[in-house]
Amino acid sequence: MVARKYVRDGRAPIPKDPLTSAVMSRIRARNTGPERRMRSALYAAGLRGYRLNYKKAPGRPDIAFVGRRVAVFVHGCFWHGCPYCSPKRPRSNRSFWTAKLDRNKERDGEKVRALKKLGWRVVTVWDCRLQRSPESQVTRVAQALQGR
């Protein structure tokens, strides 16, 4: 395996462990595992015709049913502060992580408010819920598509 040099942009503190740095650099913003599972479940239920990371909607929803104005955000529990499983925050660099994760939650709320103001219905799917019961998450999206 070839060692790779990771370029720092100054937004995050340098991890003490190089392995941590390598793992964190591979975290994706799009096409994540939970997003792929959600899309697979929607497809299996016959819910198609959505756009991915739709740029014309505020907040670029992960999945957008544009004609019906339904936005679906698929959130990872750690990054977005899941209210159901309450993931633990890192103990090192605590001030950085507190600020970052709190800002993520704040930004999520801003996106939802902006979409609702434009008449969109918003469904937030949490990874822990998707793992336990993908069918119930698909049902929530289907109900939003029906206008409920």
Euclidean distance between CA atoms 74 and 112, whole angstroms: 13
Tokens of 66: 């544009």
Instruction: Compute CA 42 distance to the chain's CA centroid, rounded to the nearest angstrom.
Output: 16
pLDDT band at 147 (very low <50, low <70, confident <90, very high): confident
In a domain, residue 112? The reply is: yes
Exposure of 82 in the CB half-sphere (CA atoms within 13 A): 16
In a domain, residue 34? The reply is: no
Find the domain containing 65 and state its range. 46-145
- Please state the rounded mean pLDDT for residues 103-132: 97
In a domain, residue 141? The reply is: yes
In a domain, residue 1? The reply is: no
Predicted confidence at residue 33, as pLDDT, reads 86
CATH number at residue 90: 3.40.960.10
Q: Using a pLDDT cut of 70, give the percent of the chain over it.
A: 79
Predicted confidence at residue 14, as pLDDT, reads 65
DSSP, res 93: T
Number of domains forming the structure of the chain: 1
